[in-house]
């Protein structure tokens, strides 16, 4: 499992949620269940999707959640534009926040690319799997041996031994 709090993109997205909450507090009360709520949900969706995806076992699943976060990022950017057009937000505020969300989008795109290329579940390159009562350390780009002849399928891996290679399914 990944520690999402270590990701710079998560930290920035988390800070931006707080900024969105502060600016939307000034929106008209009539927007509480409209733009205010929608912008807050979209902003919070970015770090929430990163957190949920990081808790998943596979890189493929994590990449899907990163992709959803990209969509939420673009949603917030449009909502900032709309808020400025409606006079709820000063142009300078809109531009400053939009620039920060553009940075988040670029970071998410880079993360998506990196995660999509991962052969294993852990972004740091190490995962630990329980196999036949033995813990086998798997490192990206390395092989692990199974000490007895067996075949196991499921839980995202296939192994045939002895002297077999564990194959992680993503």
Task: Please write the tens of the pLDDT for every residue from 119-150.
Answer: 654 433 443 344 444 444 444 444 454 444 44
107 and 52 in a common domain: yes
101 and 21 in a common domain: yes
pLDDT > 80? residue 12: yes
Global pTM reads: 0.69
Mean per-residue pLDDT for 32-61? 94
pLDDT (tens digit, 9 = 90+) per residue, 87-111? 999 999 999 999 999 999 999 999 9
Query: Which long-range CB contacts under 8 A does 67-75 form with residues at least 24 apart?
Result: 67/112, 69/13, 69/45, 69/108, 70/105, 70/108, 70/109, 70/112, 72/42, 72/43, 72/45, 72/46, 73/13, 73/46, 73/101, 73/104, 73/105, 73/108, 74/105, 75/42, 75/45
43 and 77 in a common domain: yes
- Residue 40 belongs to a domain: yes
21 and 68 in a common domain: yes
Which pLDDT does position 56 carry in this prediction? 87
Which range of residues forms the domain containing residue 82?
4-116
What is the tally of structural domains in the chain?
Answer: 2
Which pLDDT does position 119 carry in this prediction? 63
Which pLDDT does position 95 carry in this prediction? 97
92 and 66 in a common domain: yes
162 and 100 in a common domain: no
């Amino acid at each position: 499992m990944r520690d999402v709090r270590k990701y710079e993109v998560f930290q920035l997205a988390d800070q931006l949620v707080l900024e969105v909450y502060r600016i939307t507090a000034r929106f008209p009360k009539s927007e509480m269940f409209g733009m205010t709520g929608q912008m807050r949900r979209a902003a919070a969706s970015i770090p929430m999707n990163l957190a949920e995806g990081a808790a998943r076992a596979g890189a493929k699943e994590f990449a899907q959640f990163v992709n959803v976060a990209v969509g939420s990022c673009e949603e917030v950017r449009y909502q900032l534009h709309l808020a400025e057009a409606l006079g709820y937000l000063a142009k300078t505020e809109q531009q400053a926040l939009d620039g920060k969300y553009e940075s988040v989008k670029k970071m998410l795109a880079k993360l998506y690319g990196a995660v999509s290329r991962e052969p294993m579940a852990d972004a740091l390159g190490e995962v630990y799997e329980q196999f036949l009562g033995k813990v086998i350390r798997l490192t990206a780009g390395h092989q692990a041996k199974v000490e007895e002849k067996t075949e196991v399928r499921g839980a995202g891996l296939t192994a045939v031994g002895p002297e077999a290679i564990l194959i992680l399914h993503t």
